Structure 1
Amino acid sequence: MAHEASRQAQELMEQASAQLKDQAGAQQHPAAEGLRALGNELQAMSEQSGQQGVATDLVRHAADRANQAAQWLDQREAATVVSEVRDYTRRNPGLFLAGAAIAGVLAGRGWARA
């Protein structure tokens, strides 16, 4: 009986893991496209400003980073992305939280437009 319960628990864990990987994979491409769109929008803003300065340089740098992040997402499997984000979070919790807050604001801005 205990062996059967253990086997069923293992199967349940495997199913849950597979479902999480599937969900991560389904959301990975739209996330990359959203980052790419953000990068393009920021790039256009920096080009249209017609001015040179710190703010323009920051916007251009943010555009480059958004495009790099989109490319990074496109080039990896969902399980790898989850693992790398988890490892990064452990090494840099403060920076991760700041990034998550910014992503939340940007996501809210995107939902407000829709």
Structure 2
Amino acid sequence: MSDAGRAQQAGQAAKEQASATASRAAQSAGDVAGTAAEQARAVAGEARQQAGNAARDLRQRVLDEGHGQAQRLAGTVRQWADDFAGMAQNAPGESPARTLVTQAADGGHRAADYLDKNGVDGLLGDLQKFARRRPGAFLGGAVLAGLAVGRLAKAGKAVRSGDSGRPATSGGDDALPPAGQAPPELPGYPGV
């Protein structure tokens, strides 16, 4: 065989070998890609499962905490209702104030029983139903409740800061005499 023929055979052999090597490399790359995709699916599935477990755990903790809060609130409301009932029993005679206190005590007992029976979930469900049926009344009630909470918070802050709730005077605090001292007399009004 001539040198040209041998070179041609060597070139052909090299070409076949390169083709086989490329084929094996492509197959190996495909296997690696398939394994990587399979691993990615497994990791994503595990992550979804763990996220679902975490969400269920968090939801259960929130429900448990809400149930505990509802029980404490029911106990507090029941105590207030018992206090009102005691006040009504000790009140002399029949008066509008006694009637109102008795009604407040009865309403407090009903509210405490409702919280014991239905918990926070029942309360929220009933509020949602009411809001759907009567949105105007719900919004009005929410505004009134917000105002009441704001006033209570303001009153609580004033009590904590030592403000006695006195109305402001135009003369400021210097117009008031120190504690234990009589106020100055007004001209033309002795003793006032």
Superposed CA RMSD in Å reads 3.5
Corresponding position of 1:32: 74
1:1-114 equivalent positions in 2, closer than 5 A: 4=44, 7=48, 13-88=55-130, 91=134, 92-96=138-142, 98=144, 101=148, 105=152
CA separation of 1:89/1:63 partners in 2, compared to 1, >3 Å: closer, same or farther?
Answer: farther
C-alpha contact (below 8 Å) 1:89/1:96 kept by paired residues: no
Equivalences, count: 106
Q: Relative CO higher for 1 or 2, CA cutoff 8 Å, sep ≥ 6?
A: 1
- Taking only the aligned residue pairs, the percentage that are identical comes to 23
Other structure's SS at 2:92 match: coil
TM-score by length of 2: 0.43
Q: CA deviation at 1:18?
A: 2.8
Superposed displacement of residue 88, structure 1? 3.8
Partner Cα separation in structure 1 for residue 145 and residue 81 of structure 2: 15
The answer to whether the 8 A contact 2:78-2:112 is kept is yes
Structure 1: tracts of 5 or more residues without a match: none
Give TM-score scaled by structure 1 length: 0.66
In terms of Rg, which structure is larger?
2
User: Deviation of residue 15 (structure 1)?
Assistant: 4.4
Equivalent pair of 2:71/2:119 in contact (CA under 8 Å): no
Larger helix fraction of residues: 1
The aligned amino acid for 1:63 is A
